Amino acid sequence: MPCDIFGLLQYETNKLVIIKSRRLGSLKWSLNTAIFMFIGIMMFWNKEYQEHDLVVSSVTTKVKGVVMAQSPDVGTMLWDVVDHSGIFKEKNSFFVVTNVLITKRQKQGKCPEVLISGKRCLADKDCEKGYWDQRTHGVQTGACVNFDNMHKTCEVSAWCPIEATKKPPRPALFLAAENFTVLIKNNIRFPAFNYFKRNILPEMTETYLKSCMYNRQRDPLCPIFRLGDIVKEAKENFTEMAVEGGIIGVNIKWNCDLDQFFRHCRPMYTFQRLDEKQSNRTVYPGLSFRFARYYNENGVETRTLYKVFGIRFDVLVYGTAGKFSIIQLIIYIGSTLSYYALTTVFIDWLISTSCYAKEAQQDFTKMKVESVEARKQKLLCVSFVDEDHLRLVKPSRKKPLQKVKAVDTHPKKGNAARTRALAAVLQIPPRQKAGTELQEMPQSGCLAWCMCGRCRPSDSLQEQLCCRQSSGSCLTTSPLFDRLLLSRVVLESVLLYREPLLDLPEGGAIRNLRHCAYSLYIDWRFDGSKEDGIPVMPSCCVWRIRDKYPSSDGRYRGLQPETKVLIHSGENS
């Protein structure tokens, strides 16, 4: 088989855990149903299944009305629609004059500059011939003349008399423009759907259009508006606004549903003021501009200058149309699938909480998650006879094992089965000659790491381990050591216990007996535990056993933790 170096020739899948629980099952389905309903409601509410298009529109307006006013300067004035709208033409908007300042009979000539924009002067030298700036009304002649009885100003060549700088009349002259009406015609189109419509709806008859007037409550579709109503709907006061003028937005909103069953496409009108309305806070408040009408008076070109204030109405059309689209529906459904993951997130969280585990009397987290730890450096396990716990130590390359500090400690576990086995062993009478054999054992005495005085030197740092931590008598001097580990009867019994038909020669397989003694030692001193670390036997105990059951050639393999061959495993020494 060719080797798959990139791991491509495989398919990974997730392993699932099915929890057969009526409660969790119904919770899952309830949550999923709630999510499904939410998605469904949102889909119909926001019409997520529709494709949309923006409106394209054209607007025409027709203003009707005539107004008569009394001006202190001019007398009676009559303005009709032509006077109003003839002076102002702009796309999608119309203008109605509400106030005016008139300067009659202006002719070109020389006259004193008005007081505010013209500088005052005392003599001709204060005026510069040919001077002009943005604030002056003409070109200075260089003369200083009387403006009135009190003041003198520079004389200018200009349209005389110069327009007096006055505030607009209050109340506004053409307040009656409030009653003007306007017909707004709006044609719209949604190009994506090739759909046309206008705001004069098909069901509107000529008779209706002649008599109707827009009213938000009573007649919200009539395309004819009274200007006073428009300003009122924009929450403004016409009387106040008429003085300096302003801009009002007439919004026509088309939100069309072009689907067969929900077909709906009607304009909705709203109004608001578009310019800054606090005139005392704005530098140039309202809306005003000048124009002039020219005529001939006795062969001299003469003009009437009008400074008009008025309200401009801007018609703003916006809107969208939606129509069912299978692609939009698929995209919407696709985008909502992730919401179902909330159920998993919630239930996973729920079953991981201790409250739920307690109530269900089951911890699902362990079944759900398999935790794997990276392989760590194997620790060595050491048991000292003068300590009641096991030590876990990291093998050191510098210190004897005896001196290495513990990274962790474990209490010894009591084991009933072992205690019973031990009791059985203790039925065997102690050997008489144990004491004499002990005396045969060579004494070390001078090893720095030995505390019991019975260990033997070794080159391997890992083998430099004593049976105790502080000085005292050796573990091998315990009567149990002999009875449990050195008694041939016990060792042979254990070997036969493991392998009942084992052929034990008369002289005994010394190697087998030695290894059996090691494993009994591990069982005894370490509770047989091999999970946390590799048990290491102290030098004195190893040599006590070796002396009793020596190898034929006098060679032993010793501790080899790197190859995971344990001293007690029966494979070595």
Contact positions vs Zn ion (CB under 5 A): 450, 452, 454-455, 466-467, 474, 540
The three-state secondary structure class of 562 is helix
Q: Pick between residue 311 and residue 474 the one whose CB is nearest to Zn ion.
A: 474
Residue-by-residue DSSP string for 275-289:
S---TTT-SS-S-EE
Distance set, CA 110 to CA 130, 148, 298, 346 (Å): 13, 15, 19, 90
Minimum CB distance to Zn ion, residue 538 (Å): 6
- Say whether the peptide bond before residue 171 is cis (omega within 30 degrees of 0): yes
- Say whether the peptide bond before residue 202 is cis (omega within 30 degrees of 0): no
Helices 510-526 and 539-548: angle between axes, nearest 10 degrees: 150
Contact 302, 105 (CB under 8 A): yes
Minimum CB distance to Zn ion, residue 450 (Å): 4
Residues 6+ apart with CB under 8 A from 359: none
The enclosing H or E element of 188 equals strand 181-190
Q: Pick between residue 221 and residue 438 the one whose CB is nearest to Zn ion.
A: 438
Minimum CB distance to Zn ion, residue 445 (Å): 10
Minimum CB distance to Zn ion, residue 465 (Å): 8
Q: Pick between residue 243 and residue 559 the one whose CB is nearest to Zn ion.
A: 559
Minimum CB distance to Zn ion, residue 15 (Å): 52
Q: Pick between residue 252 and residue 404 the one whose CB is nearest to Zn ion.
A: 404
Q: Pick between residue 424 and residue 480 the one whose CB is nearest to Zn ion.
A: 480
Q: Pick between residue 177 and residue 452 the one whose CB is nearest to Zn ion.
A: 452
DSSP collapsed to 3 states, 294-349: EEEECCEEEEEEEEEEEEEEEEEEEEEEEEECHHHHHHHHHHHHHHHHHHHHHHHH
Minimum CB distance to Zn ion, residue 388 (Å): 17
Q: Pick between residue 454 and residue 548 the one whose CB is nearest to Zn ion.
A: 454
Minimum CB distance to Zn ion, residue 521 (Å): 12
Minimum CB distance to Zn ion, residue 433 (Å): 20
Q: Pick between residue 309 and residue 524 the one whose CB is nearest to Zn ion.
A: 524
Residues 375, 281: Cα–Cα separation, whole Å: 78
Q: Which amino acid is at 241?
A: M
For residue 482, count other CB atoms closer than 10 A to its CB: 21
Q: Pick between residue 247 and residue 467 the one whose CB is nearest to Zn ion.
A: 467
Distance set, CA 132 to CA 80, 165, 223, 266, 305 (Å): 38, 18, 50, 57, 21
Q: Pick between residue 47 and residue 468 the one whose CB is nearest to Zn ion.
A: 468
3-state helix, strand, coil split of the chain in percent (to 5) is: 30, 30, 40
Helices 510-526 and 488-498: angle between axes, nearest 10 degrees: 90
Residues 6+ apart with CB under 8 A from 571: 565
Minimum CB distance to Zn ion, residue 473 (Å): 8
Q: Pick between residue 30 and residue 470 the one whose CB is nearest to Zn ion.
A: 470
Residue-by-residue DSSP string for 437-487:
HHHHSPP----TT-SSS-----S-GGG---S-SSSS--GGGSHHHIIIII-
